[in-house]
Amino acid sequence: MKKKIIISVCFLLISVLIAASVVNASAAVYVQDGKYKYQIIDDSTVAWAGYTSDTVDDVVVPRNYDRSTVVSVANFALENNDKIRSVDFMDAPDLSKIGMYAFNGCSSLESVVVPDSIITVDVSAFRNCTSLQNVEFYGNNNTVPVECFYNCEALKNVRLSAYLTSIKSRAFAGCTSLEYLELPDTIQNIASNAFDGCDNLILGVWSNSFAHNYVISNTIPYVLLDGPKAGDANGDGMVDILDSTEIQKVAAEMIELTDEQFELADINNDGFVDVIDALLIQKYVVGKYDIPPIIYNS
């Protein structure tokens, strides 16, 4: 009987100690300094946890708190803030992480530039930012995490890091305004549902890359970034005034084009290669016309 009591008491003590350690591990210490809030990480570093007021429109993440360096944006820092329109991380050069749900539900946020100092963007960091239109990733960030831009329905322009290796589950799901996105050839993993609901999306991929195989497997329309260029009638890899001259020769029945050259030269897709196509190339050369890319349907 005594053994059973001793065992029960020991088990109870262990359970209490485990529970206490969990509470201590999860209990965050916050401080305020003027208009900013911070989460203490250790004696020399802090996470920026937002503002003491919810009236700020344009966010600038600070460099320091007292003698401590700002190294991250805290989890849930500005969640559901409906006032902020932009975020500037450039004043915090030691910033290396954006925490989970940090800007989730910031419904007025319109643009974000993630500098190359930031190595980690955590899950759902910009989820439900329904006014977000422009995003630029630079440098060392190599993963677009789970639901990072989920339901960012206004998102149109995205520039991804040249070092990107992975796009996680539903990272861009529900981005209904996203029509074109270029994927670097460094990518080695893309979740099958990463672009769920992006019905108008065309992906720019490199030939024989992981992303190339991905768009084919998932029947997503794509553009080959290193493939043939519409307008390249003479096949030299460039679209310039020489192609216009080539097309004028075709129109004058001085030369003939191969079937592939004909497709590239027929810029307006009217079934003819003529002086209109030559004129469009001339406009393209002087910056007054955008030649549509060749879109492949998987």
Q: Quick one: pLDDT at residue 143?
A: 94
**How do 222-224 and 202-205 pair as beta strands?**
parallel
Smallest Cα–Cα separation from 236: which of 275, 207, 265, 259?
265
Tens digit of pLDDT for each residue in 263-277?
999 999 999 999 999
pLDDT for the residue 16 = 37
pTM, two decimals, is 0.82
pLDDT at residue 25, as a whole number: 37
The whole-number pLDDT of residue 27 equals 64
pLDDT tens-digit map of 150-182: 999 999 999 999 999 999 999 999 999 999 999
Exposed (0-12), middle (13-18) or buried (19+): which is 92, by Cβ within 10 Å? buried
Show contacts of 121-125: CB within 8 Å, 24+ apart. 121/97, 121/145, 121/148, 122/75, 122/97, 122/98, 123/147, 123/148, 123/168, 124/100, 124/148, 124/150, 125/98, 125/99, 125/100, 125/101
**pLDDT of res. 28:** 79
CA–CA dist 125, 87 (Å, integer) = 13
Q: 3-state class of 270 per DSSP?
A: coil
Q: So what's the architecture of 29-224 in CATH? A: Alpha-Beta Horseshoe (3.80)
DSSP string, 9-40: HHHHHHHHHHHHHHHHHH---EEEETTEEEEE
Do 181 and 204 contact (CB within 8 A), yes or no?
Answer: yes
* pLDDT score for 245: 95
Question: Got the DSSP string for 199-267?
Answer: TT-EEEE-TTSHHHHHHHHTT--EEETTS--TT-TT-SS--SHHHHHHHHHHHTTS----HHHHHHH-T
Architecture of the domain spanning 228-298: Orthogonal Bundle (1.10)
Q: Which residues of the chain have pLDDT under 50?
A: 1-26
Domain locations in the chain as residue ranges? 29-224, 228-298
Pairing of strands 58-60, 180-182: unpaired
